[in-house]
Structure 1
C-alpha cells in the first residue's frame, strides 16, 4: 500500500519536544534496557552500555548519571531456557545495583523492530523477577516495536515495513520468514495471540492507536489508566512525536504509582528519556588508535545486508575481501580455516580496509532450535577470527554487520565489558561505541544491524571512517 494512502486519515501529530519529556522525567528513575542484541543502541547517544552485569559494571553505569543504561544480553542468539535465565540474572543484578545507587528501575526489553525475538518469554520472566524481588509487578506491558527512522511504523494496530513509499504489513516481509522467530500476523493484537499460543487472545490485547496518541498525553494517560492490571498494550507510532506523547503519559502515570514494563524497538528509549535526535557522528569526533585499515565483518544473511555488501564492493572495488566458508566453520576443518583466514586478514590490514563475510548461502537446520545452533556456531567462528586478528594486527576500526555478529564481536572478540554510545553513524541508525576497557580500547566499534539502511549505507559508513 502507498504510505500516503495509509496515513491519509491519520490525525496530525501532537507537538511534543524532547525538552517537554525531559521536564517530566524523574531524576531518581533509570531505564535498564535489556538489549537482545547490540543494535538497540543505534538511536541513542551518550549512554553507557555493558556486555557484563557484575556489580562493579552496573555500579559504573549507574554512576554516570545517565537516564538509561543498556545491558547487552544477546538473548536472540540463545535458546529459550538460557534466555530466560539470563533475563533473571540481569534483573536481579540491576535491582541490587539500583538499590545501592538510590535509583528506581523501569525495565525495558529491547528487541527487533521486525518482531523477531523471545516474546512473550522475556517480558514474562522480567515481570516474575520484579515480583520475586519484592517490587510491585508492572501494571501494564507496552509493546512498541516501531522504528520510523528505519521505515517501521505501526498504524491502528498493524505493523508495517516502509520502503520507497510503499508500506508492507510486516507479516508479508522476509523478516516474518525467520527460521527461528518467524510469524504470520501483522496486526500486533493477532501477533500477540500467535506468539502466546492463544493464551492471550487478540481480544484481550488493548490497542493504543494513533488516533488517541495524537489527541495528546492526557488522552493516552486516561486510556492506560482505565485498563485492567496486567493488560498487554500494543502502541502505534508513525513518528518521534507519537513516542514522546506516550512517554509523557507514562511519566505522569509513574508519579501515580502505575509502573509499566516496555518491549520496544530501538528509538523508544530515546523518546522516553527526552533525548533529542542526535546528528550523525562526523570523523572529527572519532579517535583512532592506529593507522591500519579498518575491519568490516558481515554475518547477517537478510537480503538487505547482502545488497549492502554488494554496494560496498561496488563503491570501493579495491577493498580486500576475505570469505569465511560456513560449511568449514561447522565441521572439523574449522580451526585450520580460521588460522589461514586470520593471517590473510592481518596482512591485508597493513595496507587498507578489509571486508570479512561469511558465504552468502544460509545454512539452516531441521527446525528452529537446530537453525539457531548453526547460527551460533557460525557466529562463534566469526568471533574467533576477529579475536585472532586483534592479536595479530589491531585494526583502525571495526564494523560488525548483523545482530548476533555485532553482539558476539563486542563481548567475545573485542572483549568489551563497558562502552559509551557516542551516537549514530547515519540518521537514527548504526551505532558508534567507544570501548572503555579491554584490548579494543581506542578502536571505534560500529554496530550495524542487518535490516536497516539503504543499499549504499554500509559504503557510506566505511567512507566516513576510512577516507
Structure 2
C-alpha cells in the first residue's frame, strides 16, 4: 500500500470547516421528511447494507408479492437483498431489470412515488455503473420518469470511510488511505485505480461520464449550511451526470439530504449509489444503542452457537486470529480447495456438518472457517474463479442448511457468505433488522418462515471493526 498520499485523520479532521449545530440540522431534516411522501427502496448488493438501521424489513427476493408487502408497510423504507456482489455481470443485469420492472409496476398500481437507492460497498467495490444504468434505463423505458442525475455517496462513518475534497478515504488507525490505494481497489472482480470520486465514475464508466461534468457538493458549502447554493447545484444536474457528496460526519450527510429532498420536491429525479449512511438519514431512522445480550439471546437452549467465516480480506484474517484466543470455541477448518475434486468435496462437507452438530449439541460454540489460502487458477480466469467461489459459497451455505440442531445464534463473516447463509441456508424471506451488535455490524431477527425462526443472525461484514471486534461479538453472544 502506498502511504505517500495518506493523510493523518486527526490533523485532517481538525483542519476542516467547523461542524454546524446538529440539533438545528435535525429539525430541518425532520421538517423535510414530514411531507416527503415517497417509498424508499434500498437494493442491497450484500446484506451488510442494513448496518445503520433498525426496525426495518429486509426482503430476500424481489417477487411482486415481496415488493407489494414492502410498499404496503407503514415504514417509509424497505430493503431488498439482491446479493448482486456475488453475481456475474449478466446475472446482475438480469436481476436489476426484473427489480426495476416490479418496482415500477407496483408503484403504478399503488399510485405511490418512489426513490431507489443502490446500496454498494463503502470501499467502492461492486457492479458499478452497471446496476444504476440498468435501473435507470428500465424505469425510464416503462414510465415517463426521467432521471436527471446520480448521487454518489460512499461516506460511512462507522467503517471509517470519508470523502474529503472529492477524494474517498479508508481510515486505518490514524491514516486516511485513498480508496484507490487500498486492498479493496485491487479486488480481482471489481478493481479500480481512482480515489477522486469524479475520476472514479469516469474510470468505471469507461469515460462516458466525465469527472469535469460531475457536480461536487463541497464540505465548505455543506458546513456553511448554504442550502440555496447546494439546491441550485442540484437543480442544474442533467443527463444523468454524477453528484459527488463530500462527508466526514453524519451532520454533513444530513445537510445534503435536506438539499436533495428540496431539489426532488422541486421536480428533480435522482438515482442513488451510496453506502449505508444515507439510508439511515433519508429513512428517518433514529439512533439506537447497541443491542444487549438480553435482546439478542431470548431463550437458553443449552446449545452452542455457530460462527461461519468465509471472507478472505486482510481484516477478516486478523479478526479470525484474535478469535482463536477464545477458549470456549472449537475450530473446524473446511478445506474448500477440494472443490476441484467433487467426491472429496462432498465428503468434506459431511465431515464438517457432523463435527459441528456434535459440538453444538454439547453446548460448544463452533467456528467453521474456509481454508485461508485463496484458490488461484492463474491469469485471466476471473469468471472461472467467480464460479468456483460460488460453488464454495453454496457448500458453506449447505452446512447451515443441513444442520439438524438449532444453534443459540449464528454469526456469518463476510457479505456474500452472510447473504447466502441468510437466504439459502436459513431460508429467510423477510427479516427484521433488530439493530447493531457493534457499530456497522447488523443483526437480523429471522422470520417465521425460516429454518430457525426468531434467531439472532449476526451479519458481520468482511471489512468492518478492529482486530478484536469479532472476538468481542462472540464473547457477548456466548452464554
1:340 aligns with 2:351: yes
Determine whether 1:41 maps to 2:41.
no
Choose from 114, 122, 133 the match for 2:131. Answer: 122
In structure 1, the residue matched to 2:281 is: 271
Matched, 1:171 2:173: no
> Aligned pair 1:253/2:263, yes or no?
yes
1:158 counterpart (142, 164, 167): 167
Q: Distance in 2 between matches of 1:261 and 1:118?
A: 15
Is the counterpart of residue 381 in structure 1 residue 390 in structure 2? no
**1:396 maps to 2:408:** yes
Instruction: Report the count of equivalent residues.
Output: 463
Shift in CA distance, 136/412, structure 1 to aligned 2, threshold 3 Å:
same
**CA distance 1:190–1:355, change in 2 (3 Å):** same
Q: Which residue of 1 aligns with 2:244?
A: 234
Q: Hey, what does 1:89 align to over in structure 2?
A: 98
Name the structure 1 match of 2:13: 7
- 1:80 offset after TM fit, Å? 0.6
Deviation string 1:324-383 (CA, Å, 9 cap, x unpaired) is 112113431221111111011011101221101101111134333233222212111101
Q: CA deviation at 1:277?
A: 2.6
Please say if 1:407 is aligned against 2:419: yes
Cα–Cα, structure 1 residues 457 and 443, in superposed 2: closer, same or farther, change >3 Å? same
Q: Cα RMSD over matched residues?
A: 1.6
Partners of 1:200 and 1:135 lie apart in 2 by 23
Partner of 1:352: 364
Counterpart mapping for 1:9-158 below 5 A: 9-16=15-22, 17-25=25-33, 26=35, 28-158=37-167
Matching residue of 2:235: 225
Equivalent in the alignment of 2:472: 460
Shift of residue 94, structure 1, vs aligned partner: 2.0
> Are 2:395 and 1:369 equivalent residues in the alignment?
no
Summarize the Cα distance change of 1:32–1:336 in structure 2 as closer, same or farther, 3 Å threshold: same
Taking structure 1 as the reference length, what is the TM-score of the superposition? Answer: 0.95
Cα distance in structure 1, aligned partners of 2:339 and 2:72: 41
Cα deviation, residue 126, structure 1: 0.7
Q: Deviations over 1:253-274 (max 9, x none)?
A: 1211112110001111101122
Cα offset for 1:8? 4.1
Cα displacement string for residues 155-185 of structure 1 (whole angstroms, at most 9, x for unaligned residues): 0110001122211111111111111111111
Q: Which of the residues 277, 302, 310 maps onto 1:291?
A: 302
Provide closer, same or farther for how the CA distance between residues 190 and 280 of structure 1 changes in structure 2, counting only shifts above 3 A: same
Whole-angstrom distance in 2 between the partners of 1:292 and 1:62: 38
Equivalent residue of 1:44, what SS? coil
Unaligned runs of 5+ in 1: none
Q: Secondary structure at the match of 2:100?
A: helix
Distance 1:219 1:276, change over 3 A: farther
User: Alpha carbons of 1:348 and 1:141: their partners in 2 closer, same or farther (altered >3 Å)?
Assistant: same
Cα distance in 2 for residues equivalent to 1:97 and 1:292? 43
Please list the CA deviations of residues 138-159 of structure 1 after superposition, one character each: whole Å capped at 9, or x if unmatched: 2110110111111110001100
Distance 1:29 1:433, change over 3 A: same
Separation in 2 of the partners of 1:223 and 1:42?
Answer: 30
Deviations 1:46-89 (A, max 9, x none): 11101012222222223221121100001111111110110111
* Aligned counterparts of 1:274 and 1:18: Cα–Cα separation in 2: 10
State the 1:19 CA deviation. 4.8
Alignment CA distance shift 1:241-1:432 (3 Å): same
